[in-house]
Amino acid sequence: RTTFIFEVNQPMASYLATLNIDQFVEQTQVLEDGLLIRNYFPVGLADAAAEVFSRQPEMIAFFSERFGPYPFDVYGAVVVNADLTFALETQTLSFFSRTLVDSYDSFSQESVIAHELAHQWFGNSVSLGDWSDIWLNEGFATYASWLWMEHEMGPAYFEDFIRDQYDFISGVYYTEAGLTEAQVERNLESWPILSEPDPGFLFHHVMYLRGGLVLHALRLEVGDETFFHILRTYHARFSGGTARTADFIAVAEEVSGRELGAFFDSWLNKRSVPPLG
């Protein structure tokens, strides 16, 4: 019989721990800065999974440049031998299922891996002050995965992608698909307002997609240099604790030197979608 003791050196929200029991192949890598990457893959899937997760070090370097240093002393992934439709940003050991490895295309794989990695900064290191601020988790991680896409695919592809997301959230997509104006309006009316999600809508796609678009709109509003300064300042100030939407707005206004109340009100507190840039 063996006793395993798991300890964390930084604060952790309780939902960010999981217990996974299986026969795993452990794969480790130490990065140049000393960060340990340890992955746990199911026997029989290890080689394929290793290829899928091979770009984690590049992603860590990319996000560290934009958000600030990686906030923990270790990272990696665990893949469970089950078909699941979700992943989870479990602290320092993101959780995925074999579905990601054997059923997703490479573009989708990288997007999901980048999303869960970005949560280590936004969601884990800076955790929620209240569940009603869930967009601070999911919108930030979603936009981070889009930033990785921009890095990989280039600005033209990125701009087209952003426009597609905007058309979907604003209802243009449904109009072009043949729905009447009344049908589109009823559909959008059923979606939550970003700042006031009911408990049953905490993980509605609005929290992810419109949340991501808030950040892109802010980037267009203040410019790249100021925008990434805002993200780094926000993370540095609240790392190891919790934050609310008002905290992020305060940092954005402080760093930009601008009053952004009307901007955030239009994106967070209204059902209609404001123009993008």
Catalytically annotated residues? 116
The dihedrals phi and psi of 192, each to the nearest 5 degrees, come to -75, 155
Residue 171: DSSP 8-state:
T
Q: For the residues of 49-101, what is the DSSP string, one character each? A: HHHHTTTHHHHHHHHHHHH-S-SSSEE-EEEESS--S--B--TTSEEEEHHHH
Contact residues for 196 (Cβ-Cβ < 8 A; gap 6+): 132, 269
**Which two three-digit tokens encode residue 274?**
């404001």
Rounded distance between C-alpha atoms, residue 271 and residue 277, angstroms: 18
CA angle, corner 135, sides to 216 and 82, nearest 5? Answer: 110
